[in-house]
């Protein structure tokens, strides 16, 4: 069982170089990093310097066809993920794509359809936050029905602070043509995935997005969303990159309880002793006036549990790599199947579409309408080619 | 200066009987309660029993014309506030209306216009929460510009728990024809007023309202709203009456700081040392990577202050009465001028209109469209007359 998966990394930017570091340090026992591709000569020199034992490629397909790698991870601009995923799978190479799976659902759907035709190959996505013990526990509590049917969810996650210098780092960042959006496609994909993974996929979306609101960028640095889950259940989601002291507060309310998570570390879980609907009809009339005077103590009706988790930055990425390799080696179930990547992209697209049109958008929106409007933004920007 | 205002109360329900109690106990030094009107014989017996020294009327106009009262407070179903306000002012009687000022802006506008024609009479509204030291302090901080231009506001206020028995108390409650709505017109008017009083009036509204969601009522027991203040600034507001363990969390984010209020008691005020826009362009490139790894400590950029306030239930109503009487006696400025009542009604109407139509609604929506749709609900309900 000591066989290791021979992995190649595509892209030696921030994320790729970080992965190379911890993979060569042996942080992931079932992976051997063997090759890295980067199209930039300066970065290839850097690879040779830092990792003299690794094969270095200037072209992705050449690495795929070299016979040296059996799996790849794609740390490249988002638009390229679907096409690179398909190119790898076509050549019998397992693929771990970075989040987001792509920029628009049409391209991600093509990737998913292609991957479905290669069931023997492993196709996963770097939703590292799904390995966070806190979010795994939330998923368990909600899925088990412990807090009942969801009535409402609210997540304010504005801790993604990014100053202007961050945006000025590279020409593709925070552009329509190079990146395909702002906070929705770069920082918040984790949250868009977790929100839906834990609370379910909504039916429709209304959103306000502020483009270049407090940063000198073309794309959104703030978004506020209302979703409708059907049957009266709703949710809100707010994210931003311009808030120096951000908020991270996630609340899930159900028929039998409630969870409030602060700073993605502390969860207060309230469990009602009976369902709220049963309690509702049992409360005596004489308690009502107390209630309107804040003299009502509902403690007899519920319990509280506070669960603390450590923040586990970095380790989470290693866990996803290990799970990816384990799936290749022995078929262990994937924490984040690649096909799940479309969920966050679809939600991000629906949010953009609603913000652009000023209307509520169903989750089965017209993919071509979205792509048409995105291409219009790309054309107006005039820096990158339109997408098909 | 020991003269007292001779006050009459209209309505001896929950609120009216409570006011009668603390006014006869002398809690408001510049008011003498002299009369109470109620149309219900049983309640008039109760008045005679509890307050044998007071004049008792079965008809509002008779009390107004009795020469015994110089001011009245209207604790009656919401629809009646505007017409009673006008009837009092017509007869030279000062009026303190209960919140909400009415159910639809058209009737409240008529009241405001009439009141404007009687500048010598005092016209006030029972926005008792405006006297809450916490909210006064928030208003001061925001108005003074201490936290800069508002970027975003979020208020989740789901602590208005009301069981079914509450709704079953009277036939008019939680009906379209008798009350004109649910949580928006009964519990949340305070919050709708405070939100706009402190953060300003939005330009447009998109809302989801859940009608009879977790209570057996025709009207809304839950509402989620997104507002647009213009120039990219937005806000959200969520309220509900079915949440056993409710949330009360109010967040205001500005260019120079942020306020987070918990349970309407504790405010954490963050003040940036410079405006965020100045800090933004000064953060060095080398700090960016730290930031994406949560290793960035922004403490050098801001200060925190935690301000604790006591909850002051009841006393707030007395303060509004005292201020109302002081305005009559010596012209002291009103904390809550009656004409401000339209702000909350307009926002509540816009929320209903958006929820009914599924569209974003400007704050200068068509009043007749709103009233037409409300009358349609009243007709479908078939219990009360339509309104004009």
- Please list the rounded mean pLDDT of every run of 10 residues in chain B (388 residues): 91 95 96 98 97 97 98 96 98 97 96 98 96 94 98 97 92 95 96 97 98 97 98 97 96 98 95 95 81 72 90 76 97 97 97 98 97 98 95
Tell me the residues of chain A between 344 and 383 that have a Cβ less than 8 Å away from chain B.
Answer: 358-360
Which residues in chain A have their CB less than 8 angstroms from residue B230's CB?
none
Closest CA to A361 of A203, A181, A252, A183: A203
Q: What is the pLDDT of residue A339?
A: 97
Q: Give the rounded distance of the alpha carbon of A330 from its chain centre.
A: 26
Using the beta-carbon criterion (under 8 Å), do B279 and A14 form an inter-chain contact?
Answer: no
Q: What is the pLDDT of residue A292?
A: 66
B83–A contact, CB cutoff 8 A: no
H or E element at residue B166? helix B164-167
How confident is the prediction along chain A (388 residues), in pLDDT tens digits per residue?
579 999 999 999 989 999 999 999 999 999 999 999 999 999 999 999 999 999 999 999 999 999 999 999 999 999 999 999 999 999 999 999 999 999 999 999 999 999 999 999 999 999 999 999 999 999 999 999 999 999 999 999 999 999 999 999 889 999 999 999 999 999 999 999 999 999 999 999 999 999 999 999 999 999 999 999 999 999 999 999 999 999 999 999 999 999 999 999 999 999 999 999 999 999 887 777 776 666 777 778 899 999 998 765 557 899 999 999 999 999 999 999 999 999 999 999 999 999 999 999 999 999 999 999 999 999 999 999 999 8
Sheet holding A266-272, edge to edge: A302-308, A266-272, A257-262, A248-254, A150-157, A233-240, A220-230, A204-211, A361-362
Closest CA to A130 of A269, A308, A265, A320: A320
Q: What is the CA radius of gyration of chain B?
A: 23
Q: What is the pLDDT of residue B312?
A: 56
Owner of token pair 């609604």: B361
CA distance B167 to B216: 8
- Torsion angles phi and psi, residue A382, rounded to 5: 70, 25
CA distance A194 to A284: 40
Number of residues that make up chain A: 388
Using the beta-carbon criterion (under 8 Å), do B208 and A226 form an inter-chain contact?
Answer: yes
Using the beta-carbon criterion (under 8 Å), do B288 and A253 form an inter-chain contact?
Answer: no
CA distance A34 to B235: 50
Best residue in B288, B315, B359 to probe A by mutation, most A CBs within 10 Å? B288
Closest CA to B121 of B323, B342, B340, B331: B331
Answer CATH for A5-129+315-338 from 3.50.50.60, 3.30.1450.10, 3.40.50.720, 3.30.465.10: 3.40.50.720
B260–A contact, CB cutoff 8 A: yes
Residues of chain B with CATH 3.30.360.10: 132-308
Which residues in chain B have their CB less than 8 angstroms from residue A224's CB?
152, 226, 234, 236
Smallest Cα distance from B114 to chain A, Å: 33
CB atoms within 10 A of CB A173: 17
Nearest CA in chain B to A258: B245
Facing A272 at nearest CB: one of B165, B244, B298: B244
Q: What DSSP line would sit under B124-154, residue for residue?
A: EE--GGGGSHHHHHHHHHHHTTTT-SEEEEE
CA distance B68 to B61: 12
H or E element at residue B306? strand B302-308
Closest CA to A73 of A25, A113, A20: A20
Answer CATH for B132-308 from 2.30.30.760, 3.30.70.3000, 3.30.360.10, 3.40.50.10470: 3.30.360.10
Q: Which residues of B10-29 are buried (b: 16+ CB within 10 A; e: fewer)?
A: bbbeebbbbbbebbeeebbe
Closest CA to B72 of B29, B25, B121, B113: B121
Q: What is the pLDDT of residue A294?
A: 67
B156–A contact, CB cutoff 8 A: yes
Using the beta-carbon criterion (under 8 Å), do B276 and A244 form an inter-chain contact?
Answer: yes
Residues of chain A with CATH 3.40.50.720: 5-129+315-338
Nearest CA in chain B to A159: B294
A285–B contact, CB cutoff 8 A: yes
Q: In sequence order, what are the residues at sequence separation of 6 or more whose Cβ sits closer than 8 angstroms to the Cβ of residue B186?
A: B78, B173, B174, B179
Token readout for B334 is 């009103």
Closest CA to B78 of B140, B161, B170: B170
Which residues in chain B have their CB less than 8 angstroms from residue A301's CB?
244
Q: What is the pLDDT of residue A208?
A: 98
Q: What is the pLDDT of residue A299?
A: 78
Residues A343-357 have pLDDT tens digits of 999 999 999 999 999
Which residues in chain B have their CB less than 8 angstroms from residue A289's CB?
14
């Amino acid at each position: 069982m000591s066989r290791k998966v021979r992995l190649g990394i595509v892209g030696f930017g921030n994320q790729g170089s970080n992965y190379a570091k911890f993979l060569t340090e042996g942080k992931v026992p079932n992976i051997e990093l063997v090759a890295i591709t980067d199209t930039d000569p300066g970065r290839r020199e850097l690879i040779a310097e830092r990792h003299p034992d690794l094969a270095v490629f200037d072209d992705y397909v050449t690495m795929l066809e070299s016979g040296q790698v059996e799996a790849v991870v794609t740390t490249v601009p988002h638009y390229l993920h679907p096409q690179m995923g398909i190119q790898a799978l076509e050549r019998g190479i397992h693929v771990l794509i970075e989040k987001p799976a792509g920029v628009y659902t049409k391209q991600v759907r093509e990737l998913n359809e292609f991957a479905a035709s290669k069931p023997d190959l492993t196709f996963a996505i770097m939703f590292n936050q799904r390995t966070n013990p806190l979010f795994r526990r939330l998923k368990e509590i909600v899925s088990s029905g412990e807090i009942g049917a969801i009535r409402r969810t609210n997540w304010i996650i504005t801790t993604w602070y990014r100053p202007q210098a961050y945006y000025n780092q590279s020409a593709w960042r925070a552009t329509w043509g190079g990146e395909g959006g702002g906070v929705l496609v770069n920082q918040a994909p984790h949250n868009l995935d977790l929100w839906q993974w834990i609370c379910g996929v909504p039916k429709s979306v209304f959103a306000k997005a502020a483009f270049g609101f407090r940063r000198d960028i073309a794309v959104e640095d703030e978004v506020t969303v209302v979703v409708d889950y059907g049957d009266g259940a709703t949710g809100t989601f707010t994210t931003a990159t311009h808030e120096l002291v951000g908020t991270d507060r996630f609340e899930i309310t159900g028929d039998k309880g409630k969870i409030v998570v602060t700073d993605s570390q502390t969860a207060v879980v309230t469990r009602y002793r009976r369902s709220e609907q049963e309690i509702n009809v049992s409360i005596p009339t004489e308690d009502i006036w107390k209630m309107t005077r804040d003299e009502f103590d509902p403690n007899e009706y519920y319990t509280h549990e506070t669960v603390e988790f450590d923040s586990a930055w970095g380790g989470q990425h290693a866990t996803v790599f290990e799970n990816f390799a384990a799936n290749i080696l022995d078929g262990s179930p994937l924490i984040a199947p690649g096909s799940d990547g479309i969920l966050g992209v679809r939600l991000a697209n629906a949010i953009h579409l609603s913000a652009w049109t000023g209307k509520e958008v169903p989750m089965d929106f017209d993919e071509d309408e979205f792509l048409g409007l995105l291409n219009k933004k790309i054309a107006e920007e005039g820096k990158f080619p339109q997408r098909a």
